[in-house]
Structure 1
Amino acid sequence: MSASTASPAATTPARAPKVETPWRRFVSEFCESKLALAGLIVFAIIVFIAIFAPWLSPQNPYDLAQLDIMDGRLEPGARDGADTMTYWLGTDDQGRDMLSGIMYGLRISLLVGAGSAIIACAVGASLGLLAAYAGGRTDTVIMRLVDLQLSFPTILAALMILAFLGKGIFNVVIALVIVEWAYYARTVRGTALVERRREYIEAAQCLALPTRRVIFRHLLPNCLPPLIVVATMQIARAIALEATLSFLGLGVPITEPSLGLLISNGYEYMLSGKYWISFYPGIALLITIVSINLVGDQMRDVLNPRLKK
């Protein structure tokens, strides 16, 4: 072989090093916590079960034609009167399969929690951005409303609203939005007050860009990290609050029970030994809230580097 002939290895171009994008850095730092990763996996499974509950559950607990009062309060592992179905987690007082009730109850709890958190986030973030950017009287009025909202106990305010509006999934969402929006507004305003003094905001103002574009195209993206953390925590808080309201009898209707209502249905039977009616929905609610909190705690640590110092 002549000296001028290059080896195959020498002619192979070197691979360019991978560029560490913000998304890759976020995923890498998030996966450093095994608990947060486990929480994310568990929550993904819960969401999957909730979405596909009609195909995964052995019974439709909302269909009265499938319920038999004679099968009420059967122990876990018992079979129905026709010996065609096994109730792996037992039944409640109406003969509802607890496993199916939990699957469908997860749908209601996640729908109410996520829906109220998204709407409250949109309302609170918009008002918080407006207060920080406009300042003056606008800031004063919005923040006094925030102080007034936060001065009321959350559960008491939600109970008063539902006592006026009545039961129903839509009414529960409205009540949760009213009691939650202030947390988002206060968080976004604090971050936006710092960001509005940055050079890029001054440059946008010098270019005479519309106020809406400055707020939502330039200011809002830089307020997202703390907003995402608060939203994650508030979803878990909204699910717990909805369960509390349903347990007290002011939440979702009895025909479409959430986890809180399932727990309430079995509370009076706890002393008689029928523990499973409240126990298993309570465990499902606990696992859901803990998994969301694990994810939220790690996201807070990743998105706020100062907490690592």
Structure 2
Amino acid sequence: MGETITTRPLPAPSVAKGERLLLRQLRDLVSSPEAVIGLVILLTLSFAAIFAPLIAPQNPYDLMQLDIMDNMLPPGSTLGGGLTAWLGTDDQGRDMLSAIMYGMRVSLGVGIASVVIASLIGALIGVLSAYIGGRFDALVMRIVDLQLSFPSILIALVLLTLFGRGLDKVVLSLVFVQWAYYARTVRGSALVEKNKDYIAAARCLEIPQWRVLVRHMLPNCIPPLIVVSTVQVAHAITLESTLSFLGVGVPVTQPSLGMLIATGYDFLLSGKYWMSTYPGIALVLIVVAINLVGDRLRAVLNPRFTQ
């Protein structure tokens, strides 16, 4: 009679060790003054965007609160209802501070939603490509190379021309534009993990392949995925703002920072600078803050910087 061979699951990493690593990475992150400044700016703007219905002086898209006689007032003016427009008003009489808060809700929402969906799709495709290899890997990488050879704005414009305007269509277009970045990043990390001993041990224990991918290989590809996702949020927000500025992005009923900039651009040369300048400053602050945090995350999560 043959001996019965029992298989045991691979030992899980120490929770305490993982907590110590996380605390060390957090200390490394906040040790950079630039990253702290970026994080403070990002959290402040995100707070203002999330709670805009509660803290904004005015609901800029409620017609009952608007008065056309308050249009294009300079910063510091008092509106007919007694409200002080610290950043002025636009051509519809909307308080620019309130419009910027609501615009950031749309821009951040579109950027984060598109990055989350694209990263999930790209990570799955990338890890499958590395694990399967062969012709499948070659086919996937050629598709990735083909897509990355075209400018992102061109692909997004073509897709929105086909789909039409709409918040969901903008998110879908950005997902299609971005998934290739994540697929290539995760594939590179997965190829390194594929040749390590713990993957060979998992195969010897006859663990199902899906579990090897999801439980063992994919988690080790998350650090570079986080770095790319952070940077791509800024790229997605910029791309969405560009599309809205060109008039093919979000609809007028859900304006983003890009649409606010486009609305004020027509009056920029007539001295009404605040209608386009202040939304532009908000957009620049968001993008710069995300890039500052993303650059520091890249240094913290890069294995070459980890002892």
- Decide: shared fold, TM above 0.5: yes
Are 2:233 and 1:235 aligned? Answer: yes
**Correspondence for 2:74:** 75
**Correspondence for 1:43:** 42
**Correspondence for 1:12:** none
The separation in 1 between residues aligned to 2:155 and 2:38, in whole angstroms, is 31
**Correspondence for 1:5:** none
Report the alpha carbon displacement of residue 307 of structure 1 after superposing the two structures with TM.
6.0
Q: Find 2:94's aligned residue among 88, 93, 96.
A: 96
The separation in 1 between residues aligned to 2:235 and 2:252, in whole angstroms, is 22
What SS class does the counterpart of residue 101 from structure 1 fall into? Answer: helix
**Correspondence for 1:224:** 222
**Correspondence for 1:214:** 212
Which sections of structure 1, spanning at least 5 residues, go unmatched? 1-17
The separation in 1 between residues aligned to 2:63 and 2:244, in whole angstroms, is 20
**Which amino acid is 1:127 matched to?**
I
Are 2:286 and 1:288 aligned? Answer: yes
**Which amino acid is 2:161 matched to?**
A
The separation in 2 between residues aligned to 1:227 and 1:199, in whole angstroms, is 22
What SS class does the counterpart of residue 81 from structure 1 fall into? Answer: coil
Over the matched positions of the two proteins, sequence identity in percent amounts to 59
- Structure 1 segments (4+ residues) deviating >2 Å: 305-309
The separation in 1 between residues aligned to 2:246 and 2:22, in whole angstroms, is 42
Report the alpha carbon displacement of residue 51 of structure 1 after superposing the two structures with TM.
0.9
**Correspondence for 1:7:** none
The separation in 2 between residues aligned to 1:81 and 1:224, in whole angstroms, is 53
**Correspondence for 1:255:** 253
**Correspondence for 1:205:** 203
Report the alpha carbon displacement of residue 306 of structure 1 after superposing the two structures with TM.
2.5
Report the alpha carbon displacement of residue 305 of structure 1 after superposing the two structures with TM.
4.2
Are 2:185 and 1:187 aligned? Answer: yes
What SS class does the counterpart of residue 268 from structure 2 fall into? Answer: coil
- Residues 208-255 of structure 1 deviation map (CA, whole Å, 9 limit, x = unaligned): 111111111100111111110000000011001100000000111111
Q: Find 1:120's aligned residue among 118, 121, 125.
A: 118
Report the alpha carbon displacement of residue 205 of structure 1 after superposing the two structures with TM.
0.9
Report the alpha carbon displacement of residue 175 of structure 1 after superposing the two structures with TM.
0.4
What SS class does the counterpart of residue 61 from structure 1 fall into? Answer: coil
What SS class does the counterpart of residue 269 from structure 2 fall into? Answer: coil
The separation in 2 between residues aligned to 1:219 and 1:144, in whole angstroms, is 23
Report the alpha carbon displacement of residue 132 of structure 1 after superposing the two structures with TM.
0.1
Q: Tell me how many residue pairs correspond in the alignment.
A: 291
The separation in 2 between residues aligned to 1:52 and 1:255, in whole angstroms, is 19
**Which amino acid is 2:232 matched to?**
Q
What SS class does the counterpart of residue 271 from structure 1 fall into? Answer: helix
Tell me: CA distance 1:307–1:22, structure 2 relative to 1, closer, same or farther (3 Å).
closer
Report the alpha carbon displacement of residue 93 of structure 1 after superposing the two structures with TM.
0.6
Q: What TM-score do the two structures reach when normalised by structure 2?
A: 0.92
- Residues 65-107 of structure 1 deviation map (CA, whole Å, 9 limit, x = unaligned): 222222111100111134x111110011111110000000110
What SS class does the counterpart of residue 145 from structure 2 fall into? Answer: helix
Which sections of structure 2, spanning at least 5 residues, go unmatched? 1-15
The separation in 2 between residues aligned to 1:296 and 1:57, in whole angstroms, is 29
- Residues 164-203 of structure 1 deviation map (CA, whole Å, 9 limit, x = unaligned): 1111110000000000000000000011001000000011
Report the alpha carbon displacement of residue 308 of structure 1 after superposing the two structures with TM.
8.8
**Which amino acid is 1:115 matched to?**
A
